[in-house]
Amino acid sequence: MAKPAKDKFDPKTFLAKVGEGKSISKLGKGQNVFVQGDVADAVFYIQKGKIKLTVVSDQGKEAVVGMLEPGQFFGEGCLNGQPLRIATTTAMEDSIITRISKLAMISALEGRPKFSQLFMAYLLTRNSRIEEDLIDQLFNSSEKRLARLLLLLANFGKESSPQPIGVKISQETLAEMIGATRSRVSFFMNKFRRLGFISYNGKIEVHSSLLNAVLIEKSELGRKD
């Protein structure tokens, strides 16, 4: 009896090619994928580059709420009935983005189990990150929040080895992401550099000593602001 043919569908190959309901765009630094208030009608996938998410309040205050990297989706709120975009997404460096229309995304999720598994894994990872961010904001000092953010940006805790933070991130942006003032971030960054936790030569390089300080809660990172 003949064995059933194996499913040779590769989700990442699917995302890297133009097809029905799919298009691929190259964005330069500073270009928007979509802006807050646009119609939400597609999901996006990052092939290359980094994407920044920002929101603007009714009072006109802007805040950075996330940074995304290759292998991550964004704009998936349209699948849950979100009619308009609630954030603005901007390329932080030259990027390659796949756009998948809402209908094409639903079709792929229903008809391609491997793609559905990939997307589900992303959602679970994102939800865990949101929970960790909430706990971080509620219980940790701004110094610890900055340390954790730097570790995340440098890919600590992932399979790949830590890398210098590849895009220039201002202290204002770091402050927005951890809910602190720029002056506090400047103070902590200088302190981290003095203690050998980070180095800076055009790009921020995070050393494992910062991770050790966070994990064992050394006194340098243990006090409240």
Q: Which pLDDT tens digit goes with each residue over 69-97?
A: 999 999 999 999 999 999 999 999 999 99
Residues 113 and 48 placed together within one structural domain of the fold: yes
CB-based burial label for 41 (10 Å; 0-12, 13-18, 19+): middle
* CATH, residue 163: 1.10.10.10
Residues 174 and 212 placed together within one structural domain of the fold: yes
Report the pLDDT averaged over residues 64-73: 92
Q: Is the pLDDT higher at 47 or at 159?
A: 47
Q: 5 in a domain, yes or no?
A: no
Q: 4 in a domain, yes or no?
A: no
Is the confidence at residue 225, as pLDDT, over 70? no
Closest CA to 71 of 113, 125, 31, 26: 125
Domain of residue 91: give its range. 11-129
Is the confidence at residue 2, as pLDDT, over 60? no
Average pLDDT value over all residues in the chain? 87
Report the pLDDT averaged over residues 150-154: 88
Residues with Cβ < 8 Å from 207, sequence gap 6 or more?
A: 196, 197, 198, 199
Closest CA to 90 of 63, 52, 61: 52
Question: pTM for this one?
Answer: 0.79
Q: 99 in a domain, yes or no?
A: yes
Report the pLDDT averaged over residues 106-135: 92
pLDDT in the model for residue 224 = 46
Q: Which pLDDT tens digit goes with each residue over 193-221?
A: 999 999 987 788 888 888 888 776 554 56
